């Protein structure tokens, strides 16, 4: 896996490699636990006070840890974010502890990767065409929060405005 690929390209490569891009029409929700398992990543849930998640190395094994106090949809986004640190950043630090609203390049890129992994543009476009219009409905289909879908749809200009004016 290239460390120099953009986070968007990296997400796309992974989705293609897992076969998801061929199967999302029957199963839109990415099987993130299996994907992490494929990389020998263990996924733990712990009740953190102020962390969204972490990537830790324990013995020779990496663990993705997400905040058990957060809703599952948000934990999936966090797990995908930590997965990006594993794929491209793990040589930079013995571990990562991630909070919301920390703005640096690695954090931004991990968020872009998580967004593209869990909400690929073509899948949102396809869902829209299938009649999935409410962010809550799309969020349930993909296993992400309605808020994340809302932001993504605005970025992609998917929505009623486009249908009216496009
Ligand atoms: Zn992070």
CATH number at residue 74: 1.10.10
CA distance 100 to 78: 10
User: Would residue 150 count as lying in a domain?
Assistant: no
User: Would residue 155 count as lying in a domain?
Assistant: no
Q: How far is the CA of 106 from the centre of ligand 1 (A)?
A: 7
CA distance 25 to 22: 8
Q: Per-residue pLDDT for the chain (166 aa), expressed as one digit of tens each?
A: 555 789 999 999 999 999 999 999 999 999 999 999 999 999 999 999 999 999 999 988 999 999 999 999 999 999 999 999 999 999 999 899 999 888 899 999 999 999 999 999 999 999 999 999 999 999 999 999 999 999 999 999 887 655 544 4
- Please give the distance of CA 153 from its chain centroid, rounded to a whole number: 15
**What is the pLDDT, as a whole number, of residue 165?**
46
Q: How many domains does the chain have?
A: 1
Beta-carbon neighbour count of residue 106 at 10 Å?
16
User: Would residue 131 count as lying in a domain?
Assistant: no
Query: Ligand 1 (ion): which residues have CB within 5 A?
Result: 98, 107, 110
C-beta separation of 131 from 145 below 8 A: no
**What is the pLDDT, as a whole number, of residue 162?**
53
**What is the pLDDT, as a whole number, of residue 100?**
87
Q: How far is the CA of 154 from the centre of ligand 1 (A)?
A: 24
User: Would residue 60 count as lying in a domain?
Assistant: yes
Q: How far is the CA of 72 from the centre of ligand 1 (A)?
A: 18
Q: How far is the CA of 40 from the centre of ligand 1 (A)?
A: 19
For 40, the domain range is 7-118
User: Would residue 127 count as lying in a domain?
Assistant: no
Q: How far is the CA of 1 from the centre of ligand 1 (A)?
A: 19
User: Would residue 166 count as lying in a domain?
Assistant: no
Q: How far is the CA of 85 from the centre of ligand 1 (A)?
A: 7
Q: How far is the CA of 24 from the centre of ligand 1 (A)?
A: 27
CA distance 156 to 166: 13
Q: How far is the CA of 41 from the centre of ligand 1 (A)?
A: 16
C-beta separation of 45 from 66 below 8 A: yes
**What is the pLDDT, as a whole number, of residue 166?**
41
Q: How far is the CA of 166 from the centre of ligand 1 (A)?
A: 36
């Amino acid at each position: 896996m290239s460390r120099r690929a953009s986070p968007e390209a990296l997400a796309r490569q992974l989705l293609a490699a897992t076969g998801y891009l061929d199967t999302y029409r029957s199963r839109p929700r990415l099987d993130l636990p299996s994907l992490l398992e494929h990389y020998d990543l263990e996924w733990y849930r712990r009740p953190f006070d102020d962390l969204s998640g972490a990537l830790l190395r324990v013995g020779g094994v990496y663990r993705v840890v997400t905040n058990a106090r957060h809703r599952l949809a948000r934990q999936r986004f966090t797990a995908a974010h930590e997965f990006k640190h594993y794929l491209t950043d793990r040589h930079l630090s013995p571990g990562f502890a991630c909070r919301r609203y920390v703005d640096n390049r690695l954090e931004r890129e991990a968020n872009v990767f998580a967004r593209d992994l869990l909400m690929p543009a073509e899948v949102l476009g396809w869902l829209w065409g299938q009649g999935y219009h409410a962010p809550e409905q799309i969020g349930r289909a993909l296993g992400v929060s309605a808020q994340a879908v809302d932001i993504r749809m605005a970025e992609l200009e998917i929505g009623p405005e486009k249908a009216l004016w496009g």
